[in-house]
Structures are given as C-alpha cells and as structure tokens.
C-alpha cells in the first residue's frame, strides 16, 4: 500500500447562488479594487490516504466526495491525487 | 490591459485548529473509510481581474488577500494567476 495526497476543490455548480463570493465581490470596490469580477468561493479539502495505486485512491476520494465531502446536488468537485514521497 | 484568472487557496497556518477538517476526519471511519488521515479544509477563491501583466495581477491579488480574502494572522494563502484567453 502506498500513501497518496489528495486535493479536492469543491465549488458551486453553475447557477447555484454563491452568497460568499457575491459579498466579497460587492465589498472589493470600497477597498479600491474596482477591476475584479466573477468572484467565486468554494472549499478545498486536502487529505492523505493509503491505496494500492493512484487510480484506486482517486476512486475512493470520488466516493468520499459523493457521500460526505461534497453535496453533488449543488456542488462540483475536482480531485487531484499524487503519490506521497516520504522525505 | 489583459484579463487574468486567479485562484487563491486559503488554508490554516500550521498549529491553527481546523475543526471542520477534524470533524470530517472523525466521521470518515463510520462510513467505512478507515485509511484516511490529515484532513484539512480550507477555502478556494476564484476571480477574474484586469491588469497590465501577470506580475501586477498577482501583486494585486496578494494585497487583496492581506486586506479581505484571508486572515494572515491564522491563514496561509497560495496564489495562481493565469492569462484568460477569450474563446
């Protein structure tokens, strides 16, 4: 078994309201940042898992996303897996 | 002026409590995921801005991180900027 580091970026599906992003976007001009648009705020989950290979690790992370890490009804997730090299 | 897409990953500084990550990590074994560790949850901000070049865009995003997007006392941020190519 090998250790893998996974990064999962969870963002809102298109059309789903992103109130946190909208709030930041509205606040920016007051701070002098008038050239910014399309602010979207999602979450990033980083974790370490043990798996036989990278494909198995990614498959398990996808299952975890469906069951607990994301809400597939309103959220999109993007998984990146890489082998953890011990220092 | 050119349009740039920026991605900012905001995570807790080492030693700062991450209750969201800890809660997920404690919940995973009950779902059968017993091989997962080091769960950390942060946020990812994506935005579009206009700047003369990539260096200027990154500099402005860093200033925005210090002033509104992150809390530098307890959070670390990592900025990625790339030129937006119109389709």
Q: What is the mean pLDDT of each run of 10 residues along chain A (87 residues)?
A: 96 96 97 97 98 97 97 97 85
Q: Cβ–Cβ of A44/B49 closer than 8 Å? A: no
Domains contained in chain B, CATH given: 2-83 (3.30.1280.10)
Please report the pLDDT score of residue B22 as a whole number.
97
Checking ipTM against 0.95, whether it exceeds it is: no
Contacts of residue A52, Cβ cutoff 8 Å, sequence gap at least 6: A1, A2
- The pLDDT, as a whole number, for residue B87 is 59
Question: Which pLDDT score is estimated for B5?
Answer: 98
Residue A87: per-residue pLDDT: 59
**Cβ-based burial of B13 (10 A; exposed 0-12, middle 13-18, buried ≥19):** exposed
Q: Which residues of B touch A21 (CB under 8 A)?
A: 45
Contact assignment for B36 to A44 by CB distance below 8 Å: no
Q: What is the pTM of this model?
A: 0.91
Nearest to B43 among A25, A42, A68 (CB): A42
Residue A26: what pLDDT? 97
* B8: contact with A, CB 8 A cutoff: no
Question: What's residue B1's pLDDT?
Answer: 85
Query: Would you state the structure tokens that stand for residue B32, as one six-digit string?
Result: 């059968």
CA distances from A67 to A26, A61, B16, B19 (A): 33, 10, 27, 19
> Is residue B77 less than 8 Å (CB to CB) from chain A?
no
């Amino acid at each position: 078994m090998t250790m893998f580091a996974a990064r999962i970026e969870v963002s809102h599906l298109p059309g789903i309201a992103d109130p946190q992003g909208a709030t930041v976007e509205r606040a920016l001009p007051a701070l002098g940042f008038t050239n910014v648009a399309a602010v979207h705020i999602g979450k990033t989950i980083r974790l370490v898992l043990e798996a036989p290979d990278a494909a198995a690790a990614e498959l398990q992370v996808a299952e975890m996303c469906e069951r607990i890490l994301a809400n597939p009804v309103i959220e999109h997730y993007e998984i990146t897996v890489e082998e953890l090299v011990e220092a």
